[in-house]
Amino acid sequence: MGDTSEPPLIALRGITKTYGSGPAAFQALRGVDLDVHAGEFIAIMGPSGCGKSTVMNLIGCLDMPTSGSYHYQGVPVHKLTRDQRALLRRHHLGFVFQGFHLLARTSAQENVELPLLYRGLGRKARHAGARQALAQVGLTGWEHHTPAELSGGQQQRVAIARAIVSHPRLLLADEPTGNLDSTRSHEIMDLLADFQREHRITVLMVTHEPEMAAYAGRVVHFKDGLVERDERQQPVTRAVRGEVPA
């Protein structure tokens, strides 16, 4: 769990987001206040259309709020230029999506190398970083396989390796187990929880599955574009499920 005695890693104040204008306007967020501290694992839940994916996109600098303020480590993100937000994404954030978003004709290693390529790292450093990240997610020996040669769980492991290869402070996971069966889902959640505990990566995850949200130390419930409830809980672990850590 994060240290709440320190200033928050992320501070949202009065965040609104409106799509469209006039009679067709839709207000996805209606004044969200939210603090996220370094090292927390937070699950964001709520019904479809409640604003949970919208707030994730804003935190991930994939979109901008209509009004309100967003501070990341004290930096006013809502005032940054497009290029400055891109730099923040590149150097501080990692993303894991439900649909994996892997390049189909590219090997696992090459997929994982992409964030390092964008950072301008040389070939040798990219290869070493990708191999290490794939080893961390249990895919040593699968470096040269394409997504078509991998199971769904293995593809999501590649996606997680790609998200962590640049050592982000914040990992944003949008329905990371949505395309996986129950066994693979628990494997992926164990991985995310391990990274959060062992490397103090802050994890912010959107999910509609209470079983997956149980891995988080805090659950934030959204409803109608607002935070409805913000609850702390004891996160589930392999031990609680009766499993021996790998």
Q: Show the tokens assigned to 177.
A: 């187990």
Is 240 a residue whose pLDDT tops 80?
no
Q: Is residue 219 included in any domain, yes or no?
A: yes
Amino acid letter at 60? G
Q: Is residue 32 included in any domain, yes or no?
A: no
Is 246 a residue whose pLDDT tops 90?
no
Is 238 a residue whose pLDDT tops 80?
no
Q: Is residue 136 included in any domain, yes or no?
A: yes
Q: Is residue 174 included in any domain, yes or no?
A: yes
How high is the pLDDT of residue 2?
A: 61
User: How many CB atoms sit inside 10 A of residue 145's CB?
Assistant: 16
Is 6 a residue whose pLDDT tops 90?
no
How much of the chain exceeds pLDDT 90, in percent?
84
Average pLDDT over residues 1-12: 82
How much of the chain exceeds pLDDT 70, in percent?
95
How many independent structural domains does the chain possess?
1
Is 242 a residue whose pLDDT tops 80?
no
How high is the pLDDT of residue 98?
A: 82
Is 3 a residue whose pLDDT tops 70?
no
Is 237 a residue whose pLDDT tops 70?
yes
Q: Is residue 3 included in any domain, yes or no?
A: no
Q: Is residue 2 included in any domain, yes or no?
A: no
User: How many CB atoms sit inside 10 A of residue 163's CB?
Assistant: 25
How high is the pLDDT of residue 245?
A: 44
Alpha helices in the chain (DSSP H): 52-59, 82-92, 108-118, 123-136, 152-164, 182-199, 210-213
The CA distance from 225 to 187, in Å, is 31
pLDDT in tens, 94-141: 999 888 889 999 999 999 999 999 888 999 999 999 999 999 999 999
Which pairing describes strands 202-206 and 41-45: parallel, antiparallel, or unpaired?
Answer: parallel
Is 241 a residue whose pLDDT tops 50?
yes
Q: Which domain holds residue 216?
A: 39-60+82-232
How high is the pLDDT of residue 47?
A: 94
Q: Is residue 98 included in any domain, yes or no?
A: yes
Average pLDDT over residues 69-78: 97
Q: Show the tokens assigned to 69.
A: 């303020």
Q: Is residue 213 included in any domain, yes or no?
A: yes
214 or 244, higher pLDDT: 214
Closest CA to 54 of 213, 230, 227, 214: 227
CATH of the domain at 129: 3.40.50.300
- Which residue carries 């419930």 as its tokens? 221
Average pLDDT over residues 170-174: 95
